[in-house]
Amino acid sequence: MNERARPETVGQSLENSAFFMPFSMNRQFKKAPRLVSRAEGIHYYTPEGRKIIDGTSGLWCVNAGHCRPAIAEGVAKGVATLDFAPPFQLGHPLAFEFADKVAALAPEGLSKVFFTNSGSESVETALKLALAYHRVRGEGHRTRLIGRERGYHGVNFGGTAVGGIVGNRKIFGALLAGVDHMRHTHDLARNAFSKGEPQHGAELADDLERLCQLHDPSTIAAVIVEPVACSTGVLVPPVGYLKRLREICDRHGILLIFDEVITAWGRLGEPFAALRFKVTPDLITTAKGITNGTVPMGAVFMKEALYQAFQTGPDTAIEMPHGYTYSAHPVACAAGLATLKVYEDEGLLTRVKELEPYWQEQAHALKGLPNVIDIRNIGLIAAIELAPREAAVGARGFEVHLKAWERGAYMRVTGDIIALAPPLIIEKPQIDALFDCLRGVLKEIR
Ligand code: PXG
């Protein structure tokens, strides 16, 4: 056992634990727990000391790898110096410094930043900003929000409503009124085994035009999409699709929101996916990698014009009645600044450009293994889609998750799709180890 494991958790039954685990199979898990108690670089360690390669950067957030000393020191110093400061009508220097630094990395024109504590809060903030923006400009009739089938935008009410993963929506009632969804872009018949952006499907963006005609564009406030829809199983945008969405939004005065909670901070070889796809949205939502997953934080980037639209009325008025107790939390800002320094010192925001060809080659080398019906990739993300078992959708995928864990790798699965997105510090032999593990599992399961 490694010395930092807590002996009391080893071998102890969790079956009666008070912890209601989020987005988990509580009963299955508590019977056969998979615990980690330590992490370093691209590895987790179990309480027994078993080394597990982290194939998903935690939950797509630990981009610089785990337990980086410089980040741990930044957080420790931050919490010892200023534990909390009210963000309303009071400030602290780190918030201003961090906002300026991250805004400098954003696509041109997205010059203002609103801090939140999670991806879900970033999404709610962006949706509210969009509605309020139209209203303060005298276009309060723009109240509709458009998402996309299979989209994931967190778990709060707005994000659940614009989200398009049925299982995440159906038990929560009617959600928000005035929301509609475009078609998703998954098309195995035409695009299976695409490397990078698939060739077919730019015309699916025209589904937005259809919704504009149905509802009248003057009723639509904003469209929100993930540039790459990751949670649903990695749907890479077809060539030209995002550009076409941008054009339709421009034609009709609709704001375009990119939900980059996963795709920002180097995952696609640029600080933001918007830079990689060369399409500039009006708002970008982020979280996760902004602090390397160490301290909860999110940020919404917006075009200067959005910010300016609120700067009316007397300067003794609060311009935006929105914000969280922990917006720009000083410890999160300290974590973010330390993270950004690591990203910059090590070139991590663009490192994936070098790794991507090798990553792509290794991912696609799994073609031909049993049950593999698609492999897709972009940046340092890959998905392997398996045929579902008859009458047991997701069973094969979950078995991969369990068997990979036994073989020493942590991999996210969604249904029968395995999603890989390791820390951006990964080296080629470690990429080999990750895919070798998966290869072994895929050969083993039926
Ligand atoms: N938007 C996007 C695009 C996300 O991927 C959120 C919003 C919500 O962020 P928070 O911080 O509120 O969880 C996310 C989160 C998975 C997985 O396994 C993905 C997420 C969260 C948990 C699991 O794919 N993404």
Q: Which atom of ligand 1 is nearest to the CA of 156?
A: 12
Q: How far is the CA of 147 from the centre of ligand 1 (A)?
A: 15
pLDDT at position 6 is: 52
* CATH architecture under which domain 7-63+348-444 falls: Alpha-Beta Complex (3.90)
Amino acid sitting at position 244: R
Q: What is the mean pLDDT of the chain?
A: 96
Which of 62, 152, 286 maximizes ligand 1 atoms within 8 Å of its Cβ, making it the mutation to test the pocket?
A: 152
- Give per-residue pLDDT as tens, 285-303: 999 999 999 999 999 999 9
Q: How far is the CA of 152 from the centre of ligand 1 (A)?
A: 7
Q: How far is the CA of 161 from the centre of ligand 1 (A)?
A: 15
For residue 252, pLDDT over 80 is answered with yes
Residue 9 pLDDT class (50, 70, 90 cuts): low
At a CB cut-off of 8 Å and minimum separation 6, what does 272 contact?
105, 106, 107, 258, 260, 263, 264, 284, 286
Residue 313 pLDDT class (50, 70, 90 cuts): confident
Which of 54, 117, 148, 230 maximizes ligand 1 atoms within 8 Å of its Cβ, making it the mutation to test the pocket?
A: 230
pLDDT at position 50 is: 98
At a CB cut-off of 8 Å and minimum separation 6, what does 58 contact?
66, 293
Q: Which atom of ligand 1 is nearest to the CA of 229?
A: 3
Tell me if 123 CB under 6 Å of ligand 1. Answer: yes
For the residues 142-156, what does the mean pLDDT come to? 98
Q: What is the pTM of this model?
A: 0.97
For residue 241, pLDDT over 60 is answered with yes
Both tokens of 80, joined, read 């010892």
Q: How far is the CA of 369 from the centre of ligand 1 (A)?
A: 29
For residue 138, pLDDT over 60 is answered with yes
For the residues 187-191, what does the mean pLDDT come to? 98
Residue 312 pLDDT class (50, 70, 90 cuts): very high
Residue 129 pLDDT class (50, 70, 90 cuts): very high
pLDDT at position 422 is: 98
Tell me if 197 CB under 6 Å of ligand 1. Answer: no
pLDDT at position 3 is: 47
- Give per-residue pLDDT as tens, 56-92: 999 999 999 999 999 999 999 999 999 999 999 999 9
Q: According to CATH, where is 3.90.1150.10 located in the chain?
A: 7-63+348-444
Tell me if 377 CB under 6 Å of ligand 1. Answer: no
For residue 38, pLDDT over 90 is answered with yes
Amino acid sitting at position 208: L
pLDDT at position 11 is: 61
Tell me if 119 CB under 6 Å of ligand 1. Answer: yes
Q: Which atom of ligand 1 is nearest to the CA of 412?
A: 18
Residue nearest to atom 1 of ligand 1 (CA): 153
Which of 56, 59, 63, 290 maximizes ligand 1 atoms within 8 Å of its Cβ, making it the mutation to test the pocket?
A: 59
Q: How far is the CA of 231 from the centre of ligand 1 (A)?
A: 7
Q: How far is the CA of 81 from the centre of ligand 1 (A)?
A: 31
For residue 196, pLDDT over 80 is answered with yes
For residue 282, pLDDT over 80 is answered with yes
For residue 1, pLDDT over 60 is answered with no
For residue 4, pLDDT over 60 is answered with no
pLDDT at position 184 is: 98
- Give per-residue pLDDT as tens, 159-174: 999 999 999 999 999 9
For residue 5, pLDDT over 50 is answered with no
Which of 261, 263, 401 maximizes ligand 1 atoms within 8 Å of its Cβ, making it the mutation to test the pocket?
A: 261
* CATH class of the structural domain 72-345: alpha beta
Q: How far is the CA of 156 from the centre of ligand 1 (A)?
A: 11
Beta bridge partners of 223: 146, 256
Which of 118, 123, 231 maximizes ligand 1 atoms within 8 Å of its Cβ, making it the mutation to test the pocket?
A: 231
- Give per-residue pLDDT as tens, 322-368: 999 999 999 999 999 999 999 999 999 999 999 999 999 999 999 99
Q: Which atom of ligand 1 is nearest to the CA of 298?
A: 11
Q: According to CATH, where is 3.40.640.10 located in the chain?
A: 72-345
Residue nearest to atom 16 of ligand 1 (CA): 231
Tell me if 46 CB under 6 Å of ligand 1. Answer: no
For the residues 30-43, what does the mean pLDDT come to? 97
